[in-house]
């Protein structure tokens, strides 16, 4: 399962625990433990909050509607802020390269007269780098908002196919979405791969000539090849 399934799974479990009033003592204890355990994922105001699961959920069109519900606005805003911050980190290096290549151009930005006395502040506010980065982040935010509008009115069953088909529409968001959706929700699958590797490298198989990578691939995809 993808990283994007963490938020829906936790919220589903929380809803499940609230439906048993006959065992209120037990469920209230479980809910308390649940909230303490997963506060770093479900509560953006927590000091230990990790926005990656929420960002993955928001960029998965099959489950993103969960965060579009009014009661989860805080999670949605935290996910959007994190996604935009990631884009900002990738924008600035490109902006610096563009400015270096345009040093001989005649275009320049001027500050308002009222800011002339604030020499250093004025230079920062009017620097081409700052202006271009702001424009790039604005374009990215526009793409993100357009994506959220689309998924709120359409039904999607395959997230990877969605991003492949719309890569040209959401050219800035698609690479980030594919990276997040490729991340597994847990390490269980990786542990199974290690177990298979251990079995395939046991003493009875030392004379096999095929590579370990090929043998593991065939073993794990046997259900597809049959």
Instruction: Note the pLDDT tens digit of each residue in 45-95.
Output: 999 999 999 999 999 998 898 898 888 999 999 999 999 888 765 543 443
Across 31-44, b (16+ Cβ under 10 Å) vs e yields eeebeeebeebbeb
pTM over 0.75: no
Domain shared by 163 and 198, yes or no: no
Instruction: Classify residue 123: in a domain, yes or no.
Output: yes
Same domain, 69 and 144: yes
d(CA 139, CA 145): 10
Domain that residue 172 falls in: 3-87+112-186
List C-alpha distances in Å: 54 to 43, 78, 169, 196, 223.
10, 8, 22, 32, 32
Judged against a pLDDT cut of 70, whether residue 180 lies above it is answered with yes
Segment 104-122, tens digit of pLDDT = 444 444 545 554 555 555 5
- Residue 102, in any domain of the structure: no
Say if residue 36 is in the same domain as residue 137: yes
Residue 17 has pLDDT above 60, yes or no: yes
d(C-alpha 211, C-alpha 5), whole Å: 34
Query: Which pLDDT score, from 0 to 100, does residue 43 have?
Result: 92
Please tell me the distance from the alpha carbon of residue 1 to that of residue 160, in angstroms, as a whole number.
13
Report the mean per-residue pLDDT for the chain: 77
Does residue 62 lie within any of the structural domains? Answer: yes
Residue that the structure tokens 């809803």 belong to: 15
pLDDT at 103: 43
Least Cα distance to 193 among 215, 210, 225 occurs for 215
| Counted domains in the chain | 2
In a domain, 13, yes or no: yes
CA distance 106 to 109: 10
Paired strand residues for 184: 2
Q: Which residue has the higher pLDDT, 43 or 93?
A: 43
Compute CA 112 distance to the chain's CA centroid, rounded to the nearest angstrom: 39
């Amino acid at each position: 399962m993808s990283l994007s399934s963490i938020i829906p799974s936790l919220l589903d479990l929380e809803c499940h625990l609230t439906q048993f009033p006959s065992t209120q003592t037990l469920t209230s204890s479980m809910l308390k433990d649940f909230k303490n355990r997963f506060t770093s994922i479900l509560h953006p105001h927590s000091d230990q909050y990790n926005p990656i699961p929420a960002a993955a959920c928001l960029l998965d069109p099959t489950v993103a509607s969960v965060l579009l519900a009014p009661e989860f606005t805080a999670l949605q805003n935290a996910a959007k802020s994190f996604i935009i911050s990631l884009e900002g980190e990738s924008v600035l290096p490109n902006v610096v390269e563009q400015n270096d290549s345009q040093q001989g151009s005649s275009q320049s930005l001027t500050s308002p007269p009222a800011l002339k006395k604030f020499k250093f502040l004025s230079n920062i506010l009017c620097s081409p780098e700052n202006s271009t980065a702001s424009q790039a982040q604005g374009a990215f935010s526009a793409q993100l908002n357009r994506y959220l509008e689309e998924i709120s009115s359409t039904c999607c069953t395959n997230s990877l196919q969605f991003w492949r088909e719309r890569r040209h529409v959401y050219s800035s968001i698609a690479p980030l979405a594919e990276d997040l959706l490729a991340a597994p929700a847990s390490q269980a699958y990786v542990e199974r791969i290690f177990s298979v590797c251990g079995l395939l490298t046991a003493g009875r198989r030392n004379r096999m000539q095929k590579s370990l990578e090929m043998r593991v691939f065939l073993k794990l995809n046997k259900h597809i090849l049959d």
